[in-house]
Structure 1
Amino acid sequence: MDSSQERVVSATRVIDAPAHVIFELIADPARQPEWDGNDNLSKAAAGQRVHQVGDVFRMTTTKGKERDNHVVEFEEGRLIAWKPSGVGEPQAGHLWRWELEPIDTGSTRVTHTYDWTGLTDEQRFERARWTTSERLLGSIDRLAAAVE
């Protein structure tokens, strides 16, 4: 069994943009396929902007599967995290988190974390291990390109 440390990966980078500008791209699921470094997201319907814990937004993966994403952490402009599940299914136990820390009015430290410590379905472990800090940084880099 993997240690919990190996099941939490993250990446951090400073982006030359205000936190609220970056957050809008993250909190609007329709924009996420533009900057997804895992190339896993195909589309999401417009009008699903996240506003609070308990919101659920639906994405379609590049494999054509629909996923509901349950928002479990939220602070406007600073923090958003969700746990995905199949539509109408229980959450699988993994979490995606974005943390934004303003450095000044024009730059933000962005940390992206994938935490699969709660994942129990061993059939999902290989895919979970595929999500590395380099792939997370790829999302941050694409996000930076969209706002800088």
Structure 2
Amino acid sequence: MTSSREIAASAETIFDLIADPARQPEWDGNDNLAEAAAGQRVRGVGDVFSMTLTRSGVRENRVTEFAEGRLIAWLPSEPGSPPPGHLWRWELEPVDDGRTLVRHTYDWSRLTDDQRLQRARSTTAERLRASLDRLAEVAESR
């Protein structure tokens, strides 16, 4: 599942909001993220950051793809457990100095946990777009 839109902000500004887990609850369109500790800014593949969820629990997120200012993707899991196979990806493509095309993908095609399938299916393109729209509000106000 993928959604995209142009945002009137630089790729660097937008990427900083995505790569800093403490900022993610500000623009999460799934209303799934409650908080993350400061100081977890992602710097590369292999980094792990933790998030507290709104419904309960904590997720560790293992970064699997990374290009500063352009691409970040992670696999969430319960602390100490292997990722069950769903992936969140953000791709940023500068259009010009002040505009960026942002693609947000939620890929649950490799999800192995049957208990998570219903929640995965409820993450629609509209929810991805809600995250993009909220991200745009935050980025464009900076």
TM range (shorter): over 0.9
Unaligned runs of 5+ in 1: 1-8
1:81 to 55, 73, 77: 73
Q: Which residue of 2 aligns with 1:52?
A: 44
Structure 2 equivalent of residue 142 of structure 1 = 134
How many residues of Structure 1 are paired with residues of Structure 2 in the alignment? 140
* Residue ranges of structure 2 left out of the alignment (5+ in a row): none
The CA deviation at 1:102 is: 0.2
**Post-superposition offset of 1:41:** 0.3
Within a 5 Å distance, the mapping from 1:80-119 to structure 2 comes to 80-119=72-111
CA RMSD of aligned residues (A): 0.5
Percent identity between matched residues is: 66
Displacement, 1:64? 2.4
Structure 1 residue ranges (4+ consecutive) displaced by more than 2 angstroms after TM superposition: none
Deviations 1:99-118 (A, max 9, x none): 00000000000000000011
**CA apart distance, 1:66:** 0.6
Q: d(CA) in 1 for partners of 2:91 and 2:116?
A: 25
| Residues 1:127 and 2:122 are matched in the alignment | no
Instruction: For 1:18 and 1:66, locate their aligned partners in 2 and report how far apart those are by CA, in whole Å.
Output: 31
Counterpart CA distance in 2 for 1:143 and 1:31 is 10
Residue type at the aligned position of 2:39? G
C-alpha deviations, 1:95-137, integer Å up to 9, x for none?
Answer: 0000000000000000000000110121111000000010000
What's the CA shift for 1:63?
A: 1.6
Q: Which moved more, 1:115-124 or 1:71-80?
A: 115-124
User: TM-score when scaled to structure 2?
Assistant: 0.98
Aligned to 1:22: 14
Counterpart residue number, 1:37: 29
